[in-house]
Amino acid sequence: MKEGVILLEHGSGGQASARLLREVILPHLGEVPLLDSAVLKDFSASLAFTTDSFVVDPIFFPGGDIGSLAVHGTVNDLAMVGATPLFLSVAFILEEGFPLKLFSRVVASLGEAARKAGVRVVCGDTKVVPKGKGDKIFINTSGIGILKGDFVLSPSRIKEGDRVIVSGPIAEHGLCVLAAREDLGLEGLKSDSQPLHRVTEAFLSRFGPEIKVLRDPTRGGVAAVLHEFAEATGLSFILEEEKIPLRPEVKAGCELLGLDPLYLACEGRLVAVVTREIAEEAASFLRRFPEGQGACVVGEVTRERFPLILQTCYGGLRPVPPLAGEPLPRIC
Amino acid sequence: MKEGVILLEHGSGGQASARLLREVILPHLGEVPLLDSAVLKDFSASLAFTTDSFVVDPIFFPGGDIGSLAVHGTVNDLAMVGATPLFLSVAFILEEGFPLKLFSRVVASLGEAARKAGVRVVCGDTKVVPKGKGDKIFINTSGIGILKGDFVLSPSRIKEGDRVIVSGPIAEHGLCVLAAREDLGLEGLKSDSQPLHRVTEAFLSRFGPEIKVLRDPTRGGVAAVLHEFAEATGLSFILEEEKIPLRPEVKAGCELLGLDPLYLACEGRLVAVVTREIAEEAASFLRRFPEGQGACVVGEVTRERFPLILQTCYGGLRPVPPLAGEPLPRIC
């Protein structure tokens, strides 16, 4: 079966659908049959619920693919509100003619990412659209997690004087996907896509309400996250350019292409706003985790005329405007 | 803004995304801002979790549209496991160039369907793909519901002698969407799309474990549901053709097009397998609800050589094979 391609009948709900499920999808997603509705027994908790569709192009890129990304993206959305991710739904929209071999590779990667993250895929759906009405494969994952903390992470808790931490080198996922899609010949790039819930759990348990808010800087990058916080609070954020962690390959690629890394997506980094008192200790705590290598304090919360300001390496101050337009479509 | 079309930048995570959310999406989906992750407080229950993507073509059809369908489909998946639907996620994949006026109409319809069904849209996502890489709009909804019963609805509980009930005239959604797409000029068709959770709650509360299993016959129709049950149990299902409720316009349309209504999708009907003892009373109970008008006992569980058999109006017996191929793509 894996030599063929996706046919419209794979989305029919009939025999071909059943076979696709049995032979291509379920072997990678564990023992539990993917029913229409999964039953999750005996909860007694506050829950977090999230959804994300993934339309990344190309579907395979250095460091990941649309399958692993669909797990990490949703796991991280749950992690950012302080939840422990438990369950995922997975819904595929497949284009007629998509090779089953590639589909199988994506599902295998998705299943492996879920296992590594310790989340269970408990329900699913597969639709097929005619050739030319989709693009190979789109994946939606929705996720449920359990909330443990007794405080709510929220930009509304940010105060003047708080510090901004990033958990590692930024901008690499976005640049890597762009380079792979346009075949730009940039060397040494690899998506930063990874699950962050283990590090956020440890981080929150160590520093509690000293952590004001967490966010993963995906579409629109670190700049979009800080503009969102600025809008929510009326405060400003000032970043020190020389402290922003950037791998040399990413720095070189951005300079070559004239892209500002502050706008480029990460899929395995977090932005944290924390109190001034714990900032350096918090960054050092994050660096102890593989997911937090390169974490550092990059800026602070202040009151200025502009919501987001970069203090450049040369000492000047440059406003970073909100993202207008779409420099990098389909990076997730 | 509503005079324009969807642009790639509406999926950027930047200003255009925020504006689309604020001006077009949120006004129809209630007060709560659609955050990446919604927080659902203090659960103490067993939950049901489900996901479905909707790629129906055309997106507007008599009796509904992709927005209302995306609510009903997921609400019904939860209802069929005996859950009370509470929360929905909504994820849009939009094609560049899709008119904002139509998008707004779809979101309004989705919001209205959610309000009428008493479910809250609590989280969402919007992606945009370049023109020609999608088809106007695809919607994924995932849903969370609370399970109340102390028994699990499952085909494994079906026994020889049980009866099969359908809750109303079948096949109309599938035929209606096909007729609208191909402009077949069939008159008087209207999708049966509607939420079924209120009737299933009452039904389960009245008859309890006498109800073995419920299923909404969507893709693949009543035949697909009964083939699934046959495969799960090793039993056979025999249907009496003259008892299967069918509106005259649907019957005529199926005859004209050579389609078997047993394979055509409903989006507002249920198939129930119940004990022989309660079957007639159960059908009569369902008929008291607007959603159950036309409910009747249509068949029984038996042991035969074929999994699904139709006793025709002329008294003959005809095996109904499992659905092979895809007669009707993109009806949901």
- Nearest CA-CA distance, residue A266 and chain B, Å: 13
Contact residues, chain A, for B151 at CB < 8 Å:
none
pLDDT in tens, A234-292: 999 999 999 999 999 999 999 999 999 999 999 999 999 999 999 999 999 999 999 99
Residues B110 and B208 both lie in one domain: no
Together in a domain, A199 and A288: yes
CB-neighbour burial class of residue B60 (10 A; exposed 0-12, middle 13-18, buried 19+): middle
Which residues of chain A are within 8 Å of residue B69 when distances are taken between CB atoms? none
The model's confidence at residue A32, banded by pLDDT at 50, 70 and 90, is low
Does B301 map to a domain?
yes
Cβ-nearest to A142 among B128, B142, B218: B142
Whether the CB of B271 is below 8 Å from some CB of chain A: the reply is no
B247 and B225 together in one domain: yes
Cβ within 8 Å, pair A13-B78: no
Set of chain A residues whose Cβ sits within 8 Å of the Cβ of B9: 324-326
> Do A21 and A170 belong together in one domain?
no
Judge whether A173 lies within some domain.
Answer: yes
Are residues A179 and A186 in contact, defined by beta-carbon separation less than 8 angstroms?
Answer: yes
Return the residue of B nearest to A326 by Cα.
B9
Cβ contacts below 8 Å, chain A against chain B, sum to 254
Residue B77 falls in which region: left (phi positive, over 0), alpha (psi -120 to 50) or beta: alpha
Within this chain, do residues A28 and A138 fall inside the same structural domain, yes or no?
yes
Residue B35 with chain A: CB contacts under 8 Å: 81
Of B50, B81, B220, the CB nearest to A12: B220
Q: Tell me, yes or no, whether A327 lies in a domain.
A: no
Candidates B42, B89, B219; nearest CB to A51: B89
As a whole number of angstroms, the distance between CA A110 and CA A106 comes to 6
Q: In this structure, is residue A325 part of a structural domain?
A: no
B82 and B159 assigned to the same domain: no
Q: Are B218 and B232 in contact (CB under 8 A)?
A: no
The domain boundary, picked from B147, B181, B196, lies at: B147
Domain end: A147, A163, A191, which one?
A147
Q: Is the pLDDT of residue A327 over 70?
A: no
DSSP-H helix ranges across B131-195: 172-182
ipTM: 0.94
Residue B14 near chain A (CB below 8 Å) = yes
Q: Is the peptide bond before A58 cis (omega within 30 degrees of 0)?
A: yes
CB A216 within 8 A of CB A288: no
User: In tens digits, what is the pLDDT along chain B, a chain of 332 residues?
Assistant: 767 999 988 988 778 888 888 888 888 887 555 556 676 766 677 889 999 999 999 999 999 999 999 999 999 999 999 999 999 999 999 999 999 999 999 999 999 999 999 999 989 999 999 999 999 999 999 999 998 877 889 999 999 999 999 999 999 999 999 999 998 989 899 999 999 999 999 999 999 999 999 999 999 999 999 999 999 999 999 999 999 999 999 999 999 999 999 999 999 999 999 999 999 999 999 999 999 999 999 999 999 999 999 999 898 999 999 987 766 778 89
Q: What is the CATH number of the domain that holds A274?
A: 3.90.650.10
Taking an 8 Å cut-off on Cβ atoms, the answer to whether A326 and B90 are in contact is: no
Q: Which of A4-18, A167-181, B80-94, B221-235 shows the lowest mean pLDDT across its residues?
A: A4-18
pLDDT at B46: 84
Asked if residue B249 lies in contact with residue B186, where contact means CB atoms within 8 angstroms, the answer is: yes
Asked if residue A139 and residue A87 are part of one domain, the reply reads yes
Kindly state whether residues B162 and B188 are assigned to the same domain.
Answer: yes
Interface touch A44/B43, C-beta < 8 Å? yes
Output the pLDDT for position A274. 98
* CA angle B11–A54–B61, rounded 5-degree value: 75
Closest of A224, A228, A211, A218 to residue A272, by C-alpha? A211
Residues B246 and B208 in one domain: yes
Question: Please, what is the Cα angle at A303 between A301 and A309, to 5 degrees?
Answer: 70
Residues contacting residue A278 through CB under 8 Å, at least 6 positions apart: A207, A210
Residue A328 resides in a domain: no
pLDDT value for B204: 97
Number of independent structural domains in chain A = 2
The two three-digit tokens of residue B231, written as one number: 């495969």
Domain that holds residue A183: 155-319
Partners of residue A14 in chain B, C-beta under 8 Å: 219-220, 224, 322-326
User: Smallest Cβ distance to A44: which of B44, B48, B89?
Assistant: B44
Helix (H, G, I), strand (E, B) or coil at A55: coil
Examine the domain organization and report whether B301 and B163 are in the same domain: yes
Q: For chain A, where are the E strands, in sequence order?
A: 37-54, 60-61, 64-65, 83-95, 120-129, 137-147, 163-166, 211-215, 236-240, 271-274, 296-302, 308-311, 317-319
In contact, A40 and B46? CB cutoff 8 Å: yes
Most confident of A148-157, A173-182, B9-18, B36-45: A173-182
> Considering only CA atoms, which of B164, B161, B163 is closest in space to residue B303?
B161
pLDDT given at position B244: 98
- Does A194 lie in the same domain as A109? no
* Residue that is last in its domain, among B113, B147, B181: B147
Q: Is residue A262 part of a domain?
A: yes
Rounded Cα distance between B213 and A310, Å, is: 61
Asked if residue B198 is part of any domain, the answer here is yes
> Does B304 lie in the same domain as B160?
yes
Residue B55 touches partner A, C-beta closer than 8 Å: yes
- First-to-last C-alpha distance (Å) of chain B: 29
Check if B33 contacts A (Cβ < 8 Å): no
Average pLDDT over residues A186-196: 96
pTM of the model: 0.95
The enclosing domain of B37 has a CATH number of 3.30.1330.10
In a domain, A324, yes or no: no
Q: Does the distance separating the beta carbons of B55 and A325 come in below 8 Å?
A: no
